[in-house]
Protein backbone atom coordinates (compact mmCIF):
# COMPACT_ATOMS: atom_id res chain seq x y z
CA UNK A 1 0.00 0.00 0.00
CA UNK A 2 1.53 3.36 -1.03
CA UNK A 3 1.40 6.57 1.00
CA UNK A 4 -1.40 8.10 -1.08
CA UNK A 5 -3.60 5.04 -0.69
CA UNK A 6 -2.90 5.00 3.06
CA UNK A 7 -4.02 8.63 3.48
CA UNK A 8 -7.15 8.02 1.37
CA UNK A 9 -8.18 5.04 3.52
CA UNK A 10 -7.33 6.61 6.90
CA UNK A 11 -7.84 10.31 6.26
CA UNK A 12 -10.19 10.77 9.23
CA UNK A 13 -7.78 9.27 11.77
CA UNK A 14 -4.83 11.22 10.39
CA UNK A 15 -6.88 14.43 10.61
CA UNK A 16 -7.88 13.72 14.25
CA UNK A 17 -4.24 13.03 15.19
CA UNK A 18 -3.05 16.30 13.67
CA UNK A 19 -5.96 18.22 15.20
CA UNK A 20 -5.21 16.86 18.68
CA UNK A 21 -1.52 17.65 18.24
CA UNK A 22 -2.38 21.21 17.22
CA UNK A 23 -4.57 21.79 20.29
CA UNK A 24 -1.89 20.36 22.59
CA UNK A 25 0.81 22.59 21.16
CA UNK A 26 -1.38 25.67 21.64
CA UNK A 27 -2.62 24.82 25.16
CA UNK A 28 0.21 23.02 26.99
CA UNK A 29 2.77 24.66 29.24
CA UNK A 30 6.22 23.48 28.24
CA UNK A 31 7.72 24.14 31.68
CA UNK A 32 8.61 21.89 33.40
CA UNK A 33 9.70 19.24 30.90
CA UNK A 34 7.66 16.60 32.75
CA UNK A 35 4.53 18.32 31.41
CA UNK A 36 5.69 17.70 27.87
CA UNK A 37 6.72 14.10 28.59
CA UNK A 38 3.36 13.18 30.15
CA UNK A 39 1.49 14.97 27.33
CA UNK A 40 3.47 12.97 24.78
CA UNK A 41 2.64 9.74 26.66
CA UNK A 42 -1.07 10.60 26.72
CA UNK A 43 -1.01 11.64 23.06
CA UNK A 44 0.75 8.38 22.12
CA UNK A 45 -1.71 6.22 24.08
CA UNK A 46 -4.65 8.08 22.56
CA UNK A 47 -3.17 7.59 19.07
CA UNK A 48 -2.73 3.87 19.74
CA UNK A 49 -6.34 3.74 20.92
CA UNK A 50 -7.46 5.62 17.82
CA UNK A 51 -5.57 3.32 15.44
CA UNK A 52 -6.63 0.03 17.01
CA UNK A 53 -7.93 -2.34 14.30
CA UNK A 54 -11.64 -3.15 14.25
CA UNK A 55 -10.92 -6.72 15.35
CA UNK A 56 -9.89 -5.53 18.85
CA UNK A 57 -12.62 -6.25 21.43
CA UNK A 58 -14.69 -3.56 23.16
CA UNK A 59 -13.30 -4.60 26.57
CA UNK A 60 -9.76 -3.82 25.41
CA UNK A 61 -10.86 -0.46 24.03
CA UNK A 62 -12.65 0.48 27.27
CA UNK A 63 -9.66 -0.59 29.38
CA UNK A 64 -7.29 1.52 27.30
CA UNK A 65 -9.77 4.43 27.25
CA UNK A 66 -10.09 4.41 31.05
CA UNK A 67 -6.29 4.22 31.35
CA UNK A 68 -5.98 7.32 29.17
CA UNK A 69 -8.71 9.02 31.27
CA UNK A 70 -6.78 8.34 34.50
CA UNK A 71 -3.61 9.79 32.98
CA UNK A 72 -5.54 12.87 31.78
CA UNK A 73 -7.01 13.37 35.28
CA UNK A 74 -3.52 13.05 36.79
CA UNK A 75 -2.16 15.43 34.15
CA UNK A 76 -4.84 17.94 35.15
CA UNK A 77 -4.73 17.60 38.95
CA UNK A 78 -1.03 16.85 39.40
CA UNK A 79 0.40 19.25 36.84
CA UNK A 80 -2.32 21.89 36.60
CA UNK A 81 -2.75 21.44 32.85
CA UNK A 82 -6.46 22.30 32.75
CA UNK A 83 -6.71 23.44 29.12
CA UNK A 84 -4.72 20.51 27.71
CA UNK A 85 -6.63 18.04 29.90
CA UNK A 86 -10.02 19.40 28.80
CA UNK A 87 -8.85 19.12 25.18
CA UNK A 88 -7.98 15.45 25.79
CA UNK A 89 -11.40 14.97 27.44
CA UNK A 90 -13.19 16.28 24.36
CA UNK A 91 -11.28 13.94 22.08
CA UNK A 92 -11.84 11.01 24.47
CA UNK A 93 -15.61 11.63 24.46
CA UNK A 94 -15.49 11.74 20.68
CA UNK A 95 -13.60 8.45 20.52
CA UNK A 96 -15.98 6.66 22.89
CA UNK A 97 -19.06 7.96 21.07
CA UNK A 98 -17.81 7.04 17.60
CA UNK A 99 -15.95 3.77 18.20
CA UNK A 100 -17.66 1.92 21.08
CA UNK A 101 -20.98 0.01 20.91
CA UNK A 102 -24.16 1.99 21.65
CA UNK A 103 -24.64 1.36 25.40
CA UNK A 104 -20.92 1.26 26.17
CA UNK A 105 -20.38 4.57 24.39
CA UNK A 106 -23.03 6.22 26.60
CA UNK A 107 -21.50 4.74 29.77
CA UNK A 108 -17.97 5.70 28.75
CA UNK A 109 -19.01 9.27 27.87
CA UNK A 110 -20.84 9.56 31.22
CA UNK A 111 -17.69 8.42 33.08
CA UNK A 112 -15.52 10.96 31.25
CA UNK A 113 -17.98 13.83 31.89
CA UNK A 114 -18.44 12.82 35.54
CA UNK A 115 -14.66 12.72 36.04
CA UNK A 116 -14.35 16.15 34.47
CA UNK A 117 -17.13 17.65 36.62
CA UNK A 118 -15.71 16.14 39.83
CA UNK A 119 -12.29 17.64 39.12
CA UNK A 120 -13.88 20.99 38.33
CA UNK A 121 -15.87 20.87 41.58
CA UNK A 122 -13.18 19.55 43.94
CA UNK A 123 -10.00 21.06 42.55
CA UNK A 124 -11.10 24.07 40.49
CA UNK A 125 -13.89 25.01 42.95
CA UNK A 126 -16.39 25.80 40.21
CA UNK A 127 -19.91 26.88 41.11
CA UNK A 128 -23.03 24.90 40.25
CA UNK A 129 -23.79 27.31 37.42
CA UNK A 130 -20.31 26.85 35.98
CA UNK A 131 -20.62 23.08 36.30
CA UNK A 132 -23.97 23.25 34.51
CA UNK A 133 -22.38 25.24 31.68
CA UNK A 134 -19.61 22.64 31.36
CA UNK A 135 -22.23 19.87 31.40
CA UNK A 136 -24.17 21.59 28.61
CA UNK A 137 -20.96 21.95 26.57
CA UNK A 138 -20.09 18.27 27.03
CA UNK A 139 -23.68 17.23 26.26
CA UNK A 140 -23.58 19.33 23.09
CA UNK A 141 -20.27 17.76 22.07
CA UNK A 142 -21.71 14.31 22.74
CA UNK A 143 -24.78 15.14 20.63
CA UNK A 144 -22.58 16.32 17.76
CA UNK A 145 -20.47 13.16 17.89
CA UNK A 146 -23.58 10.98 18.22
CA UNK A 147 -25.12 12.65 15.17
CA UNK A 148 -21.91 12.01 13.22
CA UNK A 149 -22.01 8.39 14.34
CA UNK A 150 -25.60 7.98 13.14
CA UNK A 151 -24.71 9.48 9.75
CA UNK A 152 -21.65 7.24 9.47
CA UNK A 153 -23.62 4.09 10.36
CA UNK A 154 -26.36 5.09 7.91
CA UNK A 155 -23.76 5.55 5.17
CA UNK A 156 -22.15 2.22 6.05
CA UNK A 157 -25.56 0.54 6.00
CA UNK A 158 -26.36 2.08 2.62
CA UNK A 159 -22.97 0.99 1.31
CA UNK A 160 -23.57 -2.52 2.69
CA UNK A 161 -27.01 -2.68 1.11
CA UNK A 162 -25.60 -1.36 -2.15
CA UNK A 163 -22.91 -4.05 -2.06
CA UNK A 164 -25.56 -6.71 -1.38
CA UNK A 165 -27.67 -5.38 -4.24
CA UNK A 166 -24.65 -5.48 -6.54
CA UNK A 167 -23.97 -9.09 -5.53
CA UNK A 168 -27.63 -10.01 -6.02
CA UNK A 169 -27.61 -8.20 -9.36
CA UNK A 170 -24.50 -10.15 -10.40
CA UNK A 171 -26.12 -13.42 -9.30
CA UNK A 172 -29.33 -12.54 -11.16
CA UNK A 173 -27.35 -11.66 -14.27
CA UNK A 174 -25.53 -14.98 -14.05
CA UNK A 175 -28.79 -16.85 -13.44
CA UNK A 176 -30.42 -14.97 -16.34
CA UNK A 177 -27.58 -15.95 -18.67
CA UNK A 178 -27.82 -19.56 -17.51
CA UNK A 179 -31.58 -19.44 -18.03
CA UNK A 180 -31.13 -17.99 -21.52
CA UNK A 181 -28.61 -20.72 -22.31
CA UNK A 182 -30.95 -23.40 -20.95
CA UNK A 183 -33.81 -21.88 -22.94
CA UNK A 184 -31.70 -21.96 -26.12
CA UNK A 185 -30.68 -25.56 -25.46
CA UNK A 186 -34.32 -26.46 -24.87
CA UNK A 187 -35.35 -24.86 -28.16
CA UNK A 188 -32.51 -26.63 -29.95
CA UNK A 189 -33.55 -29.93 -28.42
CA UNK A 190 -37.19 -29.51 -29.45
CA UNK A 191 -36.51 -30.40 -33.08
CA UNK A 192 -34.39 -33.31 -31.89
CA UNK A 193 -37.33 -34.42 -29.76
CA UNK A 194 -39.55 -34.27 -32.81
CA UNK A 195 -37.10 -36.37 -34.81
CA UNK A 196 -36.68 -38.80 -31.95
CA UNK A 197 -40.44 -39.18 -31.77
CA UNK A 198 -40.45 -40.10 -35.47
CA UNK A 199 -37.73 -42.70 -34.93
CA UNK A 200 -39.69 -44.10 -32.03
CA UNK A 201 -42.81 -44.27 -34.18
CA UNK A 202 -40.94 -45.94 -37.02
CA UNK A 203 -39.57 -48.50 -34.59
CA UNK A 204 -43.14 -49.25 -33.59
CA UNK A 205 -44.11 -49.56 -37.27
CA UNK A 206 -41.21 -51.96 -37.85
CA UNK A 207 -42.48 -54.02 -34.94
CA UNK A 208 -45.95 -54.00 -36.47
CA UNK A 209 -44.50 -55.12 -39.81
CA UNK A 210 -42.74 -57.98 -38.10
CA UNK A 211 -45.76 -58.97 -36.03
CA UNK A 212 -48.57 -58.61 -38.58
CA UNK A 213 -47.26 -58.60 -42.17
CA UNK A 214 -44.43 -60.99 -41.33
CA UNK A 215 -46.86 -63.41 -39.74
CA UNK A 216 -49.21 -63.15 -42.74
CA UNK A 217 -46.44 -63.77 -45.28
CA UNK A 218 -45.21 -66.74 -43.26
CA UNK A 219 -48.73 -68.17 -43.30
CA UNK A 220 -48.96 -67.66 -47.09
CA UNK A 221 -45.59 -69.38 -47.66
CA UNK A 222 -46.61 -72.36 -45.51
CA UNK A 223 -49.92 -72.77 -47.33
CA UNK A 224 -48.30 -72.39 -50.77
CA UNK A 225 -45.76 -75.05 -49.86
CA UNK A 226 -48.59 -77.33 -48.82
CA UNK A 227 -50.71 -76.48 -51.87
CA UNK A 228 -49.30 -79.24 -54.22
CA UNK A 229 -50.02 -81.89 -51.62
CA UNK A 230 -53.55 -80.58 -51.10
CA UNK A 231 -54.19 -80.79 -54.87
CA UNK A 232 -53.05 -84.43 -54.89
CA UNK A 233 -54.79 -85.53 -51.72
CA UNK A 234 -58.06 -83.56 -51.70
CA UNK A 235 -58.97 -81.43 -54.70
CA UNK A 236 -62.11 -80.20 -52.90
CA UNK A 237 -59.93 -78.23 -50.46
CA UNK A 238 -58.15 -76.33 -53.24
CA UNK A 239 -60.78 -73.58 -53.45
CA UNK A 240 -60.81 -73.10 -49.67
CA UNK A 241 -57.02 -72.95 -49.54
CA UNK A 242 -56.84 -70.45 -52.40
CA UNK A 243 -59.54 -68.35 -50.74
CA UNK A 244 -57.59 -68.35 -47.46
CA UNK A 245 -54.34 -67.41 -49.22
CA UNK A 246 -56.14 -64.64 -51.09
CA UNK A 247 -57.63 -63.20 -47.87
CA UNK A 248 -54.27 -63.28 -46.10
CA UNK A 249 -52.63 -61.64 -49.12
CA UNK A 250 -55.23 -58.90 -49.21
CA UNK A 251 -54.75 -58.34 -45.47
CA UNK A 252 -50.99 -58.06 -45.95
CA UNK A 253 -51.52 -55.65 -48.84
CA UNK A 254 -53.73 -53.49 -46.64
CA UNK A 255 -51.08 -53.54 -43.91
CA UNK A 256 -48.37 -52.62 -46.43
CA UNK A 257 -50.40 -49.68 -47.71
CA UNK A 258 -50.96 -48.52 -44.14
CA UNK A 259 -47.27 -48.80 -43.34
CA UNK A 260 -46.26 -47.00 -46.54
CA UNK A 261 -48.70 -44.25 -45.68
CA UNK A 262 -47.24 -43.90 -42.20
CA UNK A 263 -43.65 -44.08 -43.43
CA UNK A 264 -44.30 -41.23 -45.88
CA UNK A 265 -44.38 -38.82 -42.96
CA UNK A 266 -44.03 -35.16 -43.78
CA UNK A 267 -43.50 -32.28 -41.34
CA UNK A 268 -47.10 -32.50 -40.23
CA UNK A 269 -46.70 -36.15 -39.31
CA UNK A 270 -43.48 -35.43 -37.43
CA UNK A 271 -45.18 -32.78 -35.35
CA UNK A 272 -48.24 -34.89 -34.62
CA UNK A 273 -46.12 -37.82 -33.49
CA UNK A 274 -44.07 -35.52 -31.27
CA UNK A 275 -47.20 -34.16 -29.59
CA UNK A 276 -48.55 -37.66 -29.04
CA UNK A 277 -45.19 -38.80 -27.69
CA UNK A 278 -45.05 -35.85 -25.29
CA UNK A 279 -48.53 -36.62 -23.97
CA UNK A 280 -47.61 -40.27 -23.52
CA UNK A 281 -44.45 -39.40 -21.58
CA UNK A 282 -46.30 -36.97 -19.31
CA UNK A 283 -48.99 -39.56 -18.60
CA UNK A 284 -46.42 -42.20 -17.68
CA UNK A 285 -44.44 -39.92 -15.35
CA UNK A 286 -47.26 -37.94 -13.72
CA UNK A 287 -50.23 -40.29 -13.65
CA UNK A 288 -52.43 -37.69 -15.35
CA UNK A 289 -55.25 -38.99 -17.52
CA UNK A 290 -54.75 -37.02 -20.74
CA UNK A 291 -57.17 -37.25 -23.66
CA UNK A 292 -55.84 -36.05 -27.00
CA UNK A 293 -58.18 -35.08 -29.82
CA UNK A 294 -57.19 -33.74 -33.22
CA UNK A 295 -59.70 -33.11 -35.98
CA UNK A 296 -59.21 -34.95 -39.26
CA UNK A 297 -59.98 -31.91 -41.38
CA UNK A 298 -56.71 -30.06 -41.07
CA UNK A 299 -54.61 -28.17 -43.56
CA UNK A 300 -50.87 -28.62 -43.94
CA UNK A 301 -48.96 -27.06 -41.06
CA UNK A 302 -45.33 -26.08 -41.04
CA UNK A 303 -42.88 -27.83 -38.74
CA UNK A 304 -42.32 -24.49 -36.96
CA UNK A 305 -46.00 -24.45 -36.01
CA UNK A 306 -45.71 -27.88 -34.43
CA UNK A 307 -42.53 -26.82 -32.64
CA UNK A 308 -44.39 -23.89 -31.12
CA UNK A 309 -47.37 -26.05 -30.14
CA UNK A 310 -44.98 -28.63 -28.67
CA UNK A 311 -43.31 -26.05 -26.42
CA UNK A 312 -46.62 -24.53 -25.34
CA UNK A 313 -48.13 -27.94 -24.58
CA UNK A 314 -45.00 -28.96 -22.67
CA UNK A 315 -45.14 -25.81 -20.52
CA UNK A 316 -48.92 -26.07 -20.03
CA UNK A 317 -48.77 -29.70 -18.86
CA UNK A 318 -45.87 -28.86 -16.54
CA UNK A 319 -47.97 -26.04 -15.10
CA UNK A 320 -50.91 -28.41 -14.55
CA UNK A 321 -48.69 -30.92 -12.73
CA UNK A 322 -47.11 -28.29 -10.46
CA UNK A 323 -50.09 -26.13 -9.55
CA UNK A 324 -53.48 -27.45 -10.66
CA UNK A 325 -53.78 -30.67 -8.59
CA UNK A 326 -55.75 -32.07 -11.53
CA UNK A 327 -56.46 -35.69 -12.44
CA UNK A 328 -57.80 -35.24 -15.99
CA UNK A 329 -56.60 -33.14 -18.89
CA UNK A 330 -58.12 -32.76 -22.34
CA UNK A 331 -55.99 -31.55 -25.25
CA UNK A 332 -57.76 -30.53 -28.46
CA UNK A 333 -56.15 -29.26 -31.67
CA UNK A 334 -57.94 -28.00 -34.77
CA UNK A 335 -57.67 -25.20 -37.28
CA UNK A 336 -59.77 -22.68 -39.17
CA UNK A 337 -58.80 -20.73 -42.26
CA UNK A 338 -56.28 -18.51 -40.48
CA UNK A 339 -55.24 -20.13 -37.21
CA UNK A 340 -54.30 -23.34 -35.49
CA UNK A 341 -56.15 -23.57 -32.17
CA UNK A 342 -55.02 -25.72 -29.26
CA UNK A 343 -56.94 -25.93 -26.00
CA UNK A 344 -55.72 -27.57 -22.78
CA UNK A 345 -58.47 -28.09 -20.20
CA UNK A 346 -57.99 -29.55 -16.71
CA UNK A 347 -60.20 -30.33 -13.71
CA UNK A 348 -57.83 -28.73 -11.22
CA UNK A 349 -58.47 -26.52 -8.19
CA UNK A 350 -58.87 -23.22 -10.06
CA UNK A 351 -62.28 -21.52 -9.70
CA UNK A 352 -63.83 -18.20 -10.67
CA UNK A 353 -62.95 -16.86 -7.20
CA UNK A 354 -59.28 -17.83 -7.53
CA UNK A 355 -56.93 -15.02 -8.44
CA UNK A 356 -54.94 -15.94 -11.53
CA UNK A 357 -51.22 -15.32 -11.07
CA UNK A 358 -49.11 -15.18 -14.20
CA UNK A 359 -46.03 -17.09 -13.15
CA UNK A 360 -43.04 -17.94 -15.30
CA UNK A 361 -44.91 -20.72 -17.13
CA UNK A 362 -48.09 -18.86 -18.11
CA UNK A 363 -46.12 -15.69 -18.89
CA UNK A 364 -43.86 -17.71 -21.17
CA UNK A 365 -46.84 -19.25 -23.00
CA UNK A 366 -48.47 -15.85 -23.48
CA UNK A 367 -45.21 -14.34 -24.71
CA UNK A 368 -44.67 -17.18 -27.22
CA UNK A 369 -48.18 -16.77 -28.62
CA UNK A 370 -47.93 -13.00 -28.96
CA UNK A 371 -44.47 -13.25 -30.50
CA UNK A 372 -45.91 -15.62 -33.12
CA UNK A 373 -48.72 -13.18 -33.90
CA UNK A 374 -51.31 -15.25 -32.07
CA UNK A 375 -53.17 -15.01 -28.78
CA UNK A 376 -53.56 -16.78 -25.46
CA UNK A 377 -56.84 -16.95 -23.52
CA UNK A 378 -57.10 -18.33 -19.98
CA UNK A 379 -60.50 -18.90 -18.39
CA UNK A 380 -62.05 -20.91 -15.58
CA UNK A 381 -64.13 -24.04 -16.09
CA UNK A 382 -67.26 -25.11 -14.24
CA UNK A 383 -67.29 -26.28 -11.51
CA UNK A 384 -63.50 -26.01 -11.23
CA UNK A 385 -60.48 -26.18 -13.47
CA UNK A 386 -58.70 -24.07 -16.02
CA UNK A 387 -58.89 -23.81 -19.81
CA UNK A 388 -55.93 -22.53 -21.80
CA UNK A 389 -56.75 -21.67 -25.43
CA UNK A 390 -53.96 -20.61 -27.77
CA UNK A 391 -54.22 -19.44 -31.37
CA UNK A 392 -51.26 -19.50 -33.74
CA UNK A 393 -51.28 -18.39 -37.39
CA UNK A 394 -51.18 -21.34 -39.80
CA UNK A 395 -48.45 -19.65 -41.80
CA UNK A 396 -46.38 -18.87 -38.70
CA UNK A 397 -42.68 -18.57 -39.42
CA UNK A 398 -40.19 -17.46 -36.74
CA UNK A 399 -38.26 -14.29 -37.46
- CA distances in angstroms from 90 to 115, 133, 148, 343, 366, listed in the order given: 12, 15, 15, 79, 68
CB atoms within 10 A of CB 130: 14
Q: pLDDT by residue for the chain (399 residues), tens digit each?
A: 555 555 555 677 777 777 777 777 776 665 577 777 888 888 888 888 888 887 888 888 888 888 888 888 888 888 888 888 888 888 888 888 888 888 888 898 899 899 989 998 888 888 888 889 989 998 998 898 899 889 888 888 888 888 888 888 888 888 878 877 776 676 566 556 666 666 666 676 667 666 666 767 777 777 777 767 777 776 667 777 777 777 777 777 777 766 665 555 444 556 777 788 888 888 888 888 999 988 766 666 777 788 888 888 988 888 888 888 889 999 999 888 888 999 999 998 888 888 877 777 788 888 888 888 899 998 888 888 999 999 998 877 776
Assigned CATH topology for domain 285-393: Heat Shock Protein 90 (3.30.565)
pLDDT value at position 241? Answer: 74
Tell me phi and psi for residue 43, to 5 degrees: -60, -40
How far apart (Å, rounded) are the C-alpha atoms in residues 80 and 74? Answer: 9
pLDDT value at position 289? Answer: 92
Per-residue DSSP letter, 192: H
Instruction: Please tell me whether the overall predicted TM-score, pTM, comes out greater than 0.85 for this model.
Output: no
**Dihedral (C-alpha) 45, 49, 50, 52: value to the nearest 10 degrees?**
130
Residues 6 or more apart from 216 whose CB is under 8 A from it? 248, 249, 251, 252, 255
CATH 3.30.565.10 residue ranges of the chain are 285-393
Strand partners for 390: 342, 376
pLDDT value at position 360? Answer: 74
Radius of gyration of the chain (CA): 45
Q: 84, 91, 95, 17: which is closest to 58 by C-alpha?
A: 95
How far apart (Å, rounded) are the C-alpha atoms in residues 259 and 255? Answer: 6
pLDDT value at position 310? Answer: 85
**Dihedral (C-alpha) 34, 36, 39, 45: value to the nearest 10 degrees?**
-90
pLDDT value at position 267? Answer: 47
Amino acid sequence: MNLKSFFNNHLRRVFINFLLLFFLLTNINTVPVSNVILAIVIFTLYSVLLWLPNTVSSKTRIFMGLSVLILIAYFWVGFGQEQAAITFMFFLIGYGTLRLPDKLSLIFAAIVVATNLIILLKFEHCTIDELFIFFIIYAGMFAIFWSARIRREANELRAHHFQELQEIHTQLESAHKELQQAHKELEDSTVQSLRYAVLEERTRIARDIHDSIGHGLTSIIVQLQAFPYIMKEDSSEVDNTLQTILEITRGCLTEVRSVVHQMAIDDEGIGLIALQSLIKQVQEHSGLNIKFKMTDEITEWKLETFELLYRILQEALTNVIRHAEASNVKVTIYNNEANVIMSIEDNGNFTEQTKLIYGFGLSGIKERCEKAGGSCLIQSRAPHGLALIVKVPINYAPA
